[in-house]
């Protein structure tokens, strides 16, 4: 996976994204993520890899200070169109090299991004960098089970699925092991 390929994949995938990743088990998991989180208007919130804005649909947006980034202009345009009547700042930006100052956000929301970016460790490091000292990172993604090998079907499917822009074999522990551990709220599918 690389950024150029991801832009290509998401150009064609953006019209279908919500049908697959904002329904069924993914929608149920997204709802679980935000069920017990109460954002406040004093918080600065960053959505990394906002995609089509599926997460934004699940929170009460009024008076929140939200910044949302995505590398794919096509995905970002879908999110902008959905939320044109809300005060959300959208940027086309690489999550592996964010253009924000250190400690800029109270919350960093990362849904289905660490399994997509070419360098998940670099992306996580950036999320930690832009997070304020007492902030929280909310991660919703698909990772390989900890302390287990991938099942044979997943090992066989991994290279094929990677061509489609996502890696089902990444380890959350490997991604985060060399970084400062912020307060992380995580839901895996």
Which pair of tokens denotes residue 38?
């109460």
Q: Give residue for tokens 């919350």.
A: 107
Condensed to tens digits (0 to 9), the pLDDT of residues 173-189 reads 888 887 766 677 776 65
| Among 142, 137, 148, CA closest to 165 | 142
Query: Does 3 score more than 70 pLDDT?
Result: no
**Domain coordinates in residue numbering, the chain:** 3-188
**Spelled out in words, what is the top-level CATH class assigned to the domain 3-188?**
alpha beta
Contact 54, 31 (CB under 8 A): no
Question: If you average pLDDT over every residue of the chain, what do you get?
Answer: 86
Quick one: pLDDT band at residue 14, thresholds 50, 70, 90?
Answer: low
Which pair of tokens denotes residue 84?
């044109």
Contact 1, 116 (CB under 8 A): yes
Task: Tell me which of 149 and 99 has the higher pLDDT.
Answer: 99
Alpha-carbon span 183 to 68, nearest angstrom: 20
The length of the chain is: 189
Condensed to tens digits (0 to 9), the pLDDT of residues 151-170 reads 787 778 777 777 667 777 78
pTM: 0.86
The predicted structure's pLDDT at residue 15:
66
Alpha-carbon span 54 to 99, nearest angstrom: 23
């Amino acid at each position: 996976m690389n950024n150029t390929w991801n832009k290509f994949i998401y150009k064609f995938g953006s019209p279908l994204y919500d049908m697959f990743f904002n329904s069924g088990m993914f929608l149920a998991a997204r709802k679980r993520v935000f069920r017990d989180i109460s954002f406040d208007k004093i918080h600065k919130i960053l959505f990394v890899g906002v995609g089509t804005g599926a997460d934004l649909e699940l929170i009460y947006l009024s008076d929140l200070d939200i910044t949302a980034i995505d590398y794919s202009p096509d995905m970002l345009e879908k999110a902008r169109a959905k939320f044109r009547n809300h005060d959300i700042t959208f940027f086309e930006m690489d999550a592996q090299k964010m253009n924000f100052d250190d400690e800029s956000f109270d919350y960093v929301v990362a849904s289905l991004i660490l399994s997509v970016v070419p360098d998940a460790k670099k992306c996580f490091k950036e999320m930690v960098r832009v997070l304020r000292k007492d902030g929280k990172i909310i991660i919703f993604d698909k990772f390989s089970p900890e302390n287990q090998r991938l099942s044979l079907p997943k090992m066989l499917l991994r290279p094929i699925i990677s061509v489609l822009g996502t890696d089902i074999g990444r380890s959350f522990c490997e991604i985060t092991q060399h970084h400062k551990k912020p307060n992380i709220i995580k839901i895996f599918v």
